[in-house]
Amino acid sequence: KAGVTQTPRYLIKTRGQQVTLSCSPISGHRSVSWYQQTPGQGLQFLFEYFSETQRNKGNFPGRFSGRQFSNSRSEMNVSTLELGDSALYLCASSILAGGADTQYFGPGTRLTVL
Amino acid sequence: TQLLEQSPQFLSIQEGENLTVYCNSSSVFSSLQWYRQEPGEGPVLLVTVVTGGEVKKLKRLTFQFGDARKDSSLHITAAQPGDTGLYLCAGESSNSGYALNFGKGTSLLVTP
């Protein structure tokens, strides 16, 4: 069974631009969660989608948004990029919603904002 | 606010040594997970503990969940270079809507 895939793996953008990241979960998984990982703050929860509905949202500004499609694939969008948005963005999929179910992480998208 | 505090932040040891990594919080968690992350990859789940006082063993790794479900520890016996990586604990609680809260991690380097 294929794992979680994320595209692109690397991105370089400039301040003020917007970016869209994509995540394809493991087949049969209906929950997709997104995390931001930085050296200073570690892994921080962005949001979780389950069956196309946002179930949970972390403490990030409205510039961060996401969505999930009927095939469970998910995208996250960051508008008006800031230097501090440079990070590794990870998505994780699971069969059930919530954190207790085993989450399988993708390799991440490394975003650099110049 | 970091709900989970991990210590130590960095650890460099020789092959064959034992080590313990700690994960502490003032919050009660309904479950706690340990992950290992290697450079360029996403975290990989090692274990989930759900019962206060629970001890789980995975080969040379021993995980313990505190009686009050507020803390956990990971003990590695006879560390090997292949154990090198970032060890993350993550807790799930109703306070966070059951989203996973991660600690900042312990970066472990095991040299031959």
DSSP string, A13-67: E-TT--EEEEEEPPTT--EEEEEEEETTTEEEEEEEEETTEEEEE-S--TTEEEE
| B2 φ/ψ angles, rounded to the nearest 5 degrees | -90, 115
Residue A100 has its nearest CB partner, among B31, B40, B101, at B31
Taking residues B5-12, report their average pLDDT: 96
Given a contact cutoff of 8 angstroms between Cβ atoms, the answer to whether B21 and B5 are in contact is: no
Tell if the CB–CB gap between B98 and A100 is shorter than 8 Å. yes
- Per-residue pLDDT tens over the stretch B26-59: 989 988 999 999 988 999 999 999 899 999 999 9
Which residues touch B94 (CB under 8 Å, ≥6 apart)? B30
Nearest to A76 by CA among A89, A58, A85, A86: A89
Tell if the CB–CB gap between A56 and B97 is shorter than 8 Å. yes
Decide if pLDDT at A98 tops 70.
no
User: Any idea which residue has 């963005």 for tokens?
Assistant: A89
Tell if the CB–CB gap between A33 and B100 is shorter than 8 Å. yes
- Per-residue pLDDT tens over the stretch A20-70: 999 999 999 999 999 999 988 899 999 999 999 999 899 999 999 999 999
Sign of CA dihedral A50, A55, A60, A66: positive
